[in-house]
Amino acid sequence: MSLKHCPLTVAAEQNYIESIDAEIALAMKQLEDLKKRRNAAEALLYSNTAPSEWQVQEVWRAIEQKEAELHSVQTQILDLERTVENYEDLSEHQQEMKKLIAQRDEAQSLLEAQRAILSPIRRVPIEILSEIFLHTLHNRCSNEISPYPSPNNSPMLLSNICLSWRKLALDLPLLWSTLHITIDNTVCRPNPQLIPLWLQRSGSLPLSITFVDRRSPSEPPQLTQLEDLAQAHNSEGITAVSIFEQLAPSYARWHSLSLEYTEWRRPTGLSFITKDSSPLNLQTLTVSRDFWLSEDVDSLTALMAAPQLTSLDWKCRHSRLDPIQVLPLAQMVNLDLNHRFDLNSLLDLFNACPNLVSGNFYVIHLPEGLIPQLERQTRIPVLDHLRELKLSMDWDVARLMGALKVPSLTSFMLRKNNDIFTLGEHPIGRFWDQTAFIGMLQRSACRLTILDLADVDVSPQELLALLQMQNSSLEHLVLAGEHLQSYPVDDEVLKALTPGRDGCLCPKLEYIKMWGCVGSTDGLLADMVESRWMHSDDDTAVTRLKMALFIFNSAEQPTDWKRLQHVNEVRPGITLIKQ
């Protein structure tokens, strides 16, 4: 029997072949696994998914290889540059140089992409990333108006980064619950076709809507350019009516509404709102329009009578509707009314708004003969929650200050109106009443952080007394006196505000604005500002100034002007305007 046909030899050969096949199969499986891993690693270049531990190792190896490749190409470029620098004719080397530069650029681009895979942002948990997304909304925690929807703004910008970010953005209805719409004679922002999509993505959440109609009366409505959709064409143009036709289905979800109209003769688009159909969820309303016509009264009444309304910003020169007669005053928290009150009417309003936190009011003086039928207010309004009070008045400061108790007040602003419409002659005497104001502060036991007086004829001695009274709390001081006969800020005021060995007045000041109210010896203003502006942060006894604005006569105070300019060069943030 020959060896060739030996059964043992055949079996051995069979086993050998099977082992080779097994090794090949294992190698193929390992190759497939490697391909999958490399494909998965490459897929990371086109997503924001966090890499696994083995993917991180793969990426580091790829980075090392690409860095070596980049170094090699850069070396070749340098060698080629040295080779050809002495040659006049470089044409024969241009093609090779272009090829190397293209290789270098490609390697750098891929290297940056690979390094981005290891970025910490990929490992941020979805919950934290969601919160970051929400903080990109401009007006989420402030009164700042959000920009209109655009691929350059959140949330559309976020949804265009990658697939995972897009999915996350679309899964966050709160991102889409704020909508800003602006139309003028030529442009509508956003594209009106985005509005239904925006409302759909907001789910069932309350909506914050800002609508601005800037179309001027001088130009008739034109065909409207649809942003980001240049091929679209609207033959009828876009109006407030057509915009609100799209917003109407979401009426029950309106939580915050801001309306601004430049031209009062155009339709507002609010006709779908009937007098008895107040939005149940509306809490904040901002309205700006010179005149409101009779056909809008029912719509405005419904908006202002909303059962949850707590804030109103009303800017209107004339209306057939008096907001005070419609608003749920007992629940109002914020009121900014471009509405002329006489003193008694304002005190009545204060008594009707026990929960008021912020108020901005215009008060005019009515001569005695014009209000004989009104009873004088005897009950002192106690506004326990009022923190911010802004007043524009032409008189009656003493009577108003003497009739208020505001224990929570932290911000007080008073403007003297020099050109407001008034009836009859003003009483003879001073506008400011120091005794009444200090009486209000003492009666209220409040601590002001902001004091803002404009065209108020307070004397330097009175100003010093006020600053001493609020010495431990004042952070913002604003003084303007362009219409005053004398300056409230003199040498003594500036010296008291200048830090020294014994400290200074109002050590917590962070913001100072003095416009047309400084009448001091040249150099003292710069002494005060420089000592606070360049103050060391390590000294906690006096806070370093963060912002300063001044208007004064540079010809009369050249040293102040020159020194303050220099201080601003060293540490920017000071605004100087010549008077």
Residue 329 in this model has a pLDDT that exceeds 90: yes
More confident residue, 117 or 226: 117
Is the omega angle on the peptide bond into residue 190 within 30 degrees of 0, that is, cis?
Answer: yes
Other Cβ atoms closer than 10 A to 303? 22
Q: pLDDT tens for residues 288-310?
A: 998 888 889 999 999 999 999 99
Q: pLDDT tens for residues 59-115?
A: 777 777 777 877 887 888 787 777 766 555 556 667 777 887 888 887 787 777 777
Q: What is the structure's pLDDT at 5?
A: 53
Q: What is the structure's pLDDT at 222?
A: 43
Q: What is the structure's pLDDT at 300?
A: 92
The model's pTM is: 0.76
Give the span between the Cα atoms of 264 and 292, in whole angstroms: 7
Q: What is the structure's pLDDT at 233?
A: 30
Determine which of 184-188, 447-451, 496-500 has the lowest per-residue pLDDT on average.
184-188
Q: What is the structure's pLDDT at 428?
A: 61
Residue 199 in this model has a pLDDT that exceeds 70: yes
List, in order, residues 6 or more apart from 293 with CB less than 8 Å away.
Answer: 264, 320
Average pLDDT over residues 4-13: 61
Average pLDDT over residues 507-518: 94
- Judge whether 475 and 449 are in contact, CB under 8 Å: yes
Q: What is the structure's pLDDT at 205?
A: 93
Across 266-346, where does the E strand assignment appear? 284-288, 291-292, 311-315, 318-319, 334-341
Q: 183 — phi, psi (to 5°)?
A: -130, 145
Q: What are 82's two structure tokens?
A: 């040295």
Residue 138 in this model has a pLDDT that exceeds 80: no
Other Cβ atoms closer than 10 A to 194? 22
Residue 341 in this model has a pLDDT that exceeds 50: yes
Q: pLDDT tens for residues 457-471?
A: 999 999 999 999 999
Residue 427 in this model has a pLDDT that exceeds 60: no
Determine which of 130-134, 170-174, 426-430, 509-513 has the lowest per-residue pLDDT on average.
426-430
DSSP 535: -
Q: What is the structure's pLDDT at 504?
A: 92
Quick one: pLDDT band at residue 370, thresholds 50, 70, 90?
Answer: very low
Q: pLDDT tens for residues 522-560?
A: 999 999 999 999 877 777 789 999 999 999 988 999 999
Residue 488 in this model has a pLDDT that exceeds 80: yes
Average pLDDT over residues 332-359: 91
Residue type, 572: P
DSSP 392: E
Could you tell me whether strands 207-213 and 254-261 are parallel, antiparallel, or unpaired per DSSP bridges? parallel
- Judge whether 225 and 270 are in contact, CB under 8 Å: no
Q: How is the chain split into domains, by residue range? A: 11-81+94-123
Residue 193 in this model has a pLDDT that exceeds 60: yes
Query: What mean pLDDT value characterizes the chain?
Result: 82
Residue 219 in this model has a pLDDT that exceeds 80: no
